[in-house]
Structure 1
Amino acid sequence: MQSFDAVDPATGKVFAQVHEADDVLVGRAVNAARRALDRGWADTPVQERVALLRRAADGIERRFEDFVAAEVRDTGKPVTQARNLDVARAVLNFRTFADIVAAAGEEAYLTDLSGGRQALNYTVRKPLGVVAVIVPWNLPLLLLTWKIAPALACGNAVVVKPSEETPSTASLLAEVLAEAGAPKGVYNVVHGFGSGSAGQYLTQHHGIDGVTFTGSSDTGAHVMRAVAPRVRPVSFELGGKNAAIVFDDVDVDDALDGLSRSVFTNTGQVCLCTERVYVQRRIFDDIADGLVRRAQALRLSDPWSDDTTTGPLISEKHRHKVLDYLTVAEEAGATVITGGGVPTMGALSGGWWIEPTLWTGLTNKDRAAREEIFGPVAALIPFDTTEEAVTLANDTDYGLAASVWTNDLRRGHDVAQRMRTGISWVNTWFTRELRSPFGGVGLSGIGREGGEHSLHFYTEPTNVCVQL
């Protein structure tokens, strides 16, 4: 069996070897999942499946620091983020979906027929079956548990392929689920790459009943082509080129606090991060100067230090991509108002570090303002009127998220609803209600997950009609 290197992004050093699954091993994983369903997992009472999720949450808490260490080593993100966001949210994902599934009901209707008769129509939801779960490298544990918690709660078996960049937490979770009592074959993990590797073998396997995928729009298109001949359902959360609209009546400091989070969190490697900031002209300089100060105050350092705010990019390849866009922006006439290069990192100079970067002088016609970069970068662009701001923000092939910053809540509601996105925030960013729908439009995805929307994807409904 072939293997590949697991590399620490903060140092550029190899810390482990990972076995790459071939088509035979992927087939064994899919067959194991099918056998788990056939042995009765799909028919397990809901309360037993819900109890498994709660035990899994408890298991993550018991091994909390193990998950933190694995996440930091794989991604290079600051340890405080791994603790307070990634691993904490994994626990919450399991507990939230346990509660949602435990309380879920079904539709039932009395239908009037001729002659005073009636029929009872009710819905039975059955597990989708064997679900391929493909997760990205930016929030590997958070997004993995976001998908498998509702999938398992609904009675499915899963085959997980984590990103080749971040293999550790998916394997660690297998240990926790086994300890929690998950039947053999319910949760399976295969490691590898996309095309010509585990990802392709998994999505093309005839035994897969559905695919849930988070990642780039290009890869999403490849997955759609792979499942199209068998007409399998898909749930995609893909890329974004997210906009923020900042009106001149806003509290500038509050807006700056929110914008600095939305641009620079996780080194800009979050699908919800802001890469386009539209600022009403009267306060444009105030916002630009304030964001520069906040960018320059970020601490790029050892991810294991509690005062580190910003880690490296995920890989050397990804840093090349982001650096290429820095060149593209400058060639288009952008003015770099902070950042724009690779920092000097001393003992960490072997890692994939990059300076948080802000531009002025770009327009919506420029590539750097249209294409997803997925780094700690943003273009600041002025506007004059509300209509202009809405037009600029919606001028994109993506449609994942937007944020609106204003003290006029009537305008905030109006503009947020006019955004062609899956989620619109007003005076906040990354605030999540796990019962609400999550997903994108356009190149940002297909379908919704979250709350009962997840249950709809991970189950197939059957209408039963009984004449009374």
Structure 2
Amino acid sequence: MEKIANYINGELIAPKSSQYMDDVNPATAEVFAQIPLSNDKDLQYAIDAAEKAFPVWSNLSVKERANYLNKISKLINENLDELAKAESQDTGKPVQLAQTVDIPRASANMEFFAHAITQFSSESHAGINSINYTLRKPLGVVACISPWNLPLYLFTWKIAPALASGNCVIAKPSEITPYTAYLFSKICMEAGLPKGVLNILHGKGPEIGNAIVSHKNIKAVSFTGGTATGKRIAEISAPLFRKLSLELGGKNPALVFTDCDLDKTVDGLVRASFTNQGEICLCASRIYVEKPIYEEFKEKFVQKVRALKVGNPADPSVNMGALVSAQHLNKVKSYISLAKEEGGKLLCGEEAFELIEENKKGYFLRPHVLENLPNTCRTNQEEIFGPVVSLNVFQSEEEALSLANESEYGLASTIWTNDLSKAHRIGEEIKTGIVWINCWMNRDLRTPFGGMKNSGLGREGGLEALKFFTEPKNICIEY
């Protein structure tokens, strides 16, 4: 059985503790690798390596740093099939999804920020007999902590702008899905990334994750994960006066109006609700439908959901694979039971499905659709992060907006209408950081990404990410 290694100072090394935990394939419930349990000694070694590398790395030209990121991007593409299979093995998601979304996006992240840093210009402001100009310098050693649902996709989304802007990075992938971060370590070595520039530590969040965010030499933390963990990171970081970027949970509304293209809307929302088994922070989980088309929408939507194929992630015809862990499967099932207690009517989800022998112990679940739930109930207010959505009725634009905004979260929303004026009105008033109109997950990497309220702090993506990982300094010259 393979033992995953930490990547510190340009080398793959065992943890100082010599202790490991199991890495489980969700589709088979079998252990396929061992994950290092890193500790303070591993962290200090990584910090020392990063601090030693920082003066050289930060003083490279942007073109030289961009060249390294482009090499890594190219190597990700060259190893696409291996990485996609590994991602599926670690997360339970369909291989085809990893091949077409996760791994290409990881490559695109590296390539995008390689180009973006070469276009990252400084500002100047001319006054009377003076000129002000702004320098942006890298922060130093920064931490990037990524979640389990889109492992390599979101891992590279964080480290690419950090490296491009001249920082050295201590990165921690989720202990639930660490395998592609390990393979990424090998890619960085093949690309010749200088020692100490990127260091990857594996282990549990409450242990090595907490140690990373508590270390006084970490100048900034970029974290994607649960809201409770984000709050804890903020509490630790506040006395240290460090930069924070927190991309947290979501309970995303979809508003479906009578004047929408109904078939397109149904197709779009099936995808928005159940891609990656519903384990994406951007997935639609509260669907509000205008009353005149509610019954027709419900019939078409449920029919499409029932047709989704759940099963072996290696099967190209499968739409949904396994949930990420037994613990998470039990959590999602507990919310389905709760929804029934709260008065919800189950429209689909309990249909039988066949699994091949090797998958019979895996963590599979049919997509569930419910209706008749009060907007304020726990099922409609708490993040489930699985293949569970609720359908709800509204009768006016004002009611739709009120229902959508009645949430502690504010990450993403979708609006489905052919009325352009209505789309703009609601898009401006809905309290989410991202609004998609007649689409979902149409991502332009130049745009700011992040949420409002309990969905996070700050923005990632494009120039926002490069600004986050740099410190502005204004210089004024009088002449």
TM over 0.5: yes
Provide the C-alpha distance between the structure 2 equivalents of 1:426 and 1:372, rounded to a whole number of angstroms: 22
Provide the C-alpha distance between the structure 1 equivalents of 2:45 and 2:217, rounded to a whole number of angstroms: 11
Contact 1:128/1:156, CA 8 A, preserved across alignment: yes
Deviations 1:174-228 (A, max 9, x none): 1112222211001111111111x11011111121111000001011011112222
Matches within 5 A, 1:15-34: 15-34=32-51
CA drift at 1:341: 8.0
Letter in 2 for 1:55: K
Contact 1:119/1:467, CA 8 A, preserved across alignment: yes
Using the size of structure 1 for normalisation, the TM-score is 0.97
Residue 192 (structure 1) aligns with: 203
Provide the C-alpha distance between the structure 2 equivalents of 1:284 and 1:385, rounded to a whole number of angstroms: 13
Letter in 1 for 2:317: D
CA drift at 1:229: 2.2
Residue 57 (structure 2) aligns with: 41
Deviations 1:258-278 (A, max 9, x none): 100110000000000011000
CA drift at 1:239: 0.2
Provide the C-alpha distance between the structure 2 equivalents of 1:276 and 1:445, rounded to a whole number of angstroms: 19
For structure 1, which segment, 345-354 or 198-207, has the greater mean C-alpha deviation from structure 2 after superposition? 345-354
CA drift at 1:169: 1.1
Residue 291 (structure 1) aligns with: 301
Contact 1:341/1:354, CA 8 A, preserved across alignment: no
Residue 127 (structure 2) aligns with: 111
Contact 1:357/1:376, CA 8 A, preserved across alignment: yes
CA drift at 1:287: 1.2
Residue 14 (structure 2) aligns with: none
Provide the C-alpha distance between the structure 2 equivalents of 1:207 and 1:365, rounded to a whole number of angstroms: 43
Provide the C-alpha distance between the structure 2 equivalents of 1:460 and 1:171, rounded to a whole number of angstroms: 30
User: Where does structure 1 differ by over 4 angstroms across 4 or more consecutive aligned residues?
Assistant: 340-344
Residue 93 (structure 1) aligns with: 109
Matches within 5 A, 1:351-370: 351-370=362-381
Residue 84 (structure 1) aligns with: 100
Provide the C-alpha distance between the structure 1 equivalents of 2:85 and 2:35, rounded to a whole number of angstroms: 17
2:31 is the counterpart of 1:5:
no
Residue 72 (structure 1) aligns with: 88
- Specify whether residues 435 and 20 from structure 1 end up closer, same or farther in structure 2 by C-alpha distance, changes over 3 A only: same
Using the size of structure 2 for normalisation, the TM-score is 0.95
Q: CA RMSD in A?
A: 1.1
2:331 is the counterpart of 1:321:
yes
Contact 2:29/2:362, CA 8 A, preserved across alignment: yes
CA drift at 1:66: 1.8
Letter in 2 for 1:444: S
**SS at structure 2 position matched to 1:208:** coil
Contact 2:310/2:365, CA 8 A, preserved across alignment: no
Provide the C-alpha distance between the structure 2 equivalents of 1:110 and 1:410, rounded to a whole number of angstroms: 40
Matches within 5 A, 1:298-313: 298-313=308-323
Residue 189 (structure 2) aligns with: 178
Identity percentage over the alignment? 43
CA drift at 1:340: 4.7
Deviations 1:298-336 (A, max 9, x none): 111111111111011110111111111001100011000
**SS at structure 2 position matched to 1:160:** strand
Matches within 5 A, 1:340-355: 340=350, 345-347=355-357, 348-355=359-366
Residue 77 (structure 2) aligns with: 61
2:223 is the counterpart of 1:206:
no
Letter in 2 for 1:74: D
Provide the C-alpha distance between the structure 2 equivalents of 1:226 and 1:304, rounded to a whole number of angstroms: 42
For structure 1, which segment, 247-256 or 97-106, has the greater mean C-alpha deviation from structure 2 after superposition? 97-106
Deviations 1:384-420 (A, max 9, x none): 0000000000000000000000111111111111111
Residue 460 (structure 2) aligns with: 449
Q: How many aligned positions are there?
A: 461
> Which segments of 5 or more consecutive residues in structure 1 lack a partner in the other structure?
113-117
CA drift at 1:343: 5.2
Deviations 1:143-198 (A, max 9, x none): 01111111110000111110011111111111112222211001111111111x11
- Specify whether residues 271 and 342 from structure 1 end up closer, same or farther in structure 2 by C-alpha distance, changes over 3 A only: farther
**SS at structure 1 position matched to 2:410:** coil
**Residue 245 of structure 2, aligned match among 235, 240, 251:** 235
**SS at structure 1 position matched to 2:253:** strand
Letter in 2 for 1:132: A
Contact 2:427/2:435, CA 8 A, preserved across alignment: yes
Deviations 1:410-435 (A, max 9, x none): 11111111111110010000000100
Contact 2:220/2:244, CA 8 A, preserved across alignment: yes
Residue 380 (structure 1) aligns with: 391
Contact 2:135/2:472, CA 8 A, preserved across alignment: yes
Residue 13 (structure 2) aligns with: none
> Which segments of 5 or more consecutive residues in structure 2 lack a partner in the other structure?
1-17
Provide the C-alpha distance between the structure 2 equivalents of 1:206 and 1:49, rounded to a whole number of angstroms: 26
Provide the C-alpha distance between the structure 2 equivalents of 1:200 and 1:104, rounded to a whole number of angstroms: 32
Contact 2:312/2:355, CA 8 A, preserved across alignment: no
Residue 274 (structure 2) aligns with: 264
Provide the C-alpha distance between the structure 1 equivalents of 2:53 and 2:303, rounded to a whole number of angstroms: 55
Letter in 1 for 2:156: T
Letter in 1 for 2:106: A
Residue 417 (structure 2) aligns with: 406
Contact 2:137/2:472, CA 8 A, preserved across alignment: yes
Provide the C-alpha distance between the structure 2 equivalents of 1:292 and 1:102, rounded to a whole number of angstroms: 48
